[in-house]
Amino acid sequence: MSTLLPGEPLIYERVEGVVYARYRDRPDIKRWIVGGEYNAIARARGEIPDWREMQNLQELAQKYPTLRKQLDKTLEIYYLCKDAEQEKA
């Protein structure tokens, strides 16, 4: 949200580490993110995990073969997409 409506009261909510704002009297306007914890905001936006979480994922994949197998499949898809993007350029 780039501009605020003058005179309209705001309500701030914290949900799972993300701080949202919304207009009290304007239910037609959806809430938006105004702050919070970095990882929580990333999850709320549907972004991939940060470096620390990726390291933890790799460590867990060493213990759990099913997770390792799924990560391998994900990497295969990643490399296929990456190669396709490079061929386009």
Same domain, 63 and 36: no
User: With 90 as the cut, is the pLDDT of residue 52 above it?
Assistant: no
Q: Evaluate if pTM is beyond 0.85.
A: no
Q: What is the mean pLDDT of the chain?
A: 93
Number of domains in the chain: 2
Q: At what angle do helices 51-63 and 65-88 cross, to 10 degrees?
A: 130
- Kindly state the DSSP code that residue 30 receives in the 8-state scheme: P
Helices and strands: H and E segment counts in the chain: 3, 3
- What is the pLDDT, as a whole number, of residue 2? 62
Q: Tell me the mean pLDDT in the region 43-69.
A: 92
Domain of residue 17, residue span: 10-44
What proportion of the chain, given as a percentage, has pLDDT over 70?
98
Is residue 2 situated within a structural domain?
no
67 close to 61: Cβ distance less than 8 angstroms: yes
Is residue 3 situated within a structural domain?
no
